[in-house]
Amino acid sequence: MTPVHDEDSPMLTTHPFDDDKLREECGVFGILSHTQAAAITALGLHALQHRGQEACGIVSYDGDRFHLQHALGLVGDHFSSESVIAKLKGPQAIGHVRYATTGDTSIRNVQPLYADFEFGGFALAHNGNLTNAQTLRRQLVRRGCLFQSTTDTEVIVHLMAIARGGSPVDRLIEAVRQVEGAFSLVALTPNEVIGVRDPLGVRPLVLGKLGDTHILTSETCALDIVGAEYLRDVEPGEMVVLTESGVQSLRPFQPQGRRFCIFEYIYFARPDSVMEGSSVYSARQRIGAELARESGIAADVVVPVPDSGVPAAIGYATQSGIPFELGIIRNHYVGRTFIEPTDQIRHLGVKLKHNANRAMIEGKRVVLVDDSIVRGTTSKKIVEMVRAAGAKEVHMRISSPPTSHPCFYGIDTPEQSKLLAHRLSVEEMRDFIQADSLAFISLDGLYRAMGEEKRDAKKLRYCDACFTGEYPIPLTDAVENPPTEANVRIRA
C-alpha cells in the first residue's frame, strides 16, 4: 500500500496563471458492495474534479486487505490506467479529490487517510475544514500522538485512536463530537462505508443507489456519471452507515438547524448538480435575473466570463432583453501546461485562459457577468482585454455580494487584507478594474433568487459569512492564533 509518489515528486500548481478565484474545497465518493468499486469511484472522482485538482486518492478493501493509491495531479492523469485500477481490489472503496485548504501540497497530505486500528483498517476522506484542529492537535501531541501529515483531517483519526473502545462507528461518533467546523466525511472500515455531515450541513453530501449498491458522494453529478439514482441529501448532523444489510441513519449531534454554504450555488458546485433539492444551474440563472433587475444598464450584449459566469449571464440576458453572446472564449487546455511558469508566461496571465471574441464585442456596450471578485487582478485584466478588442463600454456585473471576509469552513480564501472588497468601496473597486460601471447582487437579492423574500438574520438557512463576517461555527483556532501572512493558508 505504498503511495505511487514520494515526497520528491514535482509540486503541481492548481492554477498557475491565476490566483484570483476562490478555491473549491474537496470532493468525496464512497461505494459499498460492487464488483467494480474502484473503477466506479474513479469515475465519480472525475465528475468531482472541479472540487479539487491538486491531488486524488482511492482506498479499497477486498475482505482481507486494504489497497491504497494516492497521486498528485488530476484523476485522469492517474486513475485512467487499468493497471492502477486493478491494484485497487475489492467490492468497496472510497475516494477523494483535493485542493489544499489545510496543509501543504505533498503526498503525505493526500486523502483518503489510512490507519490501522485494533478493529482493523480504517480510511477517511474529508470535505471541509475543522476550525479547532490546531487546538486539538496540540492536545493530542501532548498525549503522545504522532502525526504523519499536516492536514486537519488526521485529527479525527487520532481522536478515534484514543476513544474509549467500541466499534468503528462508536469511535467515529466520539471523535466527530469533539471537532468544530464544516465537514462531510466518507469513511471505509472492514464492514461499512460511513458518511457524516456536520451539524449545520455547511458542506454537501448525498446518498445514491446503483442497482443494489449504495453510494455516498459530494454532488449528484458524480451519481449521474456512473448511472446511479439520487436518493436524498444526507441531513445536517446525520451519520449514514452503509452495510450489506442496508442503510442505517444515526444522529450523533444535537439538532442545530441548517446553514448550507450559499457559495455552492454561486460558484463551487457543478451547474448540472442538484444541491439541497435545488438545481444549481437554475439557481444561477435566477441570480443573474435578479442581478439584472437590481442593476440593469443600457447595453448591446451580455458576455459571461467563462465558464462559471455562463448561467448567471443567461439569466441576466433573459431578464434584461439584451442579447447573450460568447464574447470571451476559454482555453480549456491550459490548467497544467506549465508546472513552474516563468515570469514572462505569468505576465500573459488571463490571455492563456481567455481570449476576446472580437466579432461579438467590437463597437458594442458590453455587460460582463462573473461570479465573484476576490483580489480583482483577473477582473482588471479581463476588462482590459475586452476594451482592447474594441468594446465601446464595459460594465461588470457580479452574481455574488462583495466577498469581504475569509472563509474558515473549507474554502481557500486569501487573508482578509488581500480581499479587494474588504479594502475598497464598490466605486473604488470599479476604478481599480477600470470598468465603466460595477455592481454586485445585494444580499437580499441573492436570497430572493434562492426563494426567500430577503435575508432574515433570525431565520438563516445558509452560511454567507464570506459576505457578512457572521460565522455560524466557532473559530477556535483563529481566535487563539489569528491569521497572518505565514499561516493564513492553514487557517482557510
Per the document, the length of the chain is 492
Local structure of residue 277 (DSSP, 8 states)? T
Phi, psi dihedrals of residue 316, rounded to the nearest 5°: -65, -45
Closest CA to 72 of 55, 84, 58: 55
Report CA-CA distances (Å) from 99 to 72, 74, 374, 474. Answer: 11, 11, 18, 23
Contacts of 144 (CB under 8 A, 6+ apart): none
Grid coordinates given for 170: 462508536
d(CA 222, CA 49): 10
Indicate which residue of 26, 56, 221, 463 is catalytic.
26
- Strands 239-243 and 246-250, by their bridges, are antiparallel
Closest CA to 204 of 236, 165, 226: 236
d(CA 412, CA 492): 5
Is the separation of the CB atoms in 410 and 25 below 8 Å? Answer: yes
d(CA 168, CA 122): 8
d(CA 278, CA 284): 11
Residue 26 known to be catalytic: yes
d(CA 306, CA 484): 32
Ordered DSSP codes for 134-199: HHHHHHHHHTT---S-SSTHHHHHHHHHTS-S--HHHHHHHHHTT--EEEEEEEE-SS-EEEEE-T
Residues known to be catalytic: 26
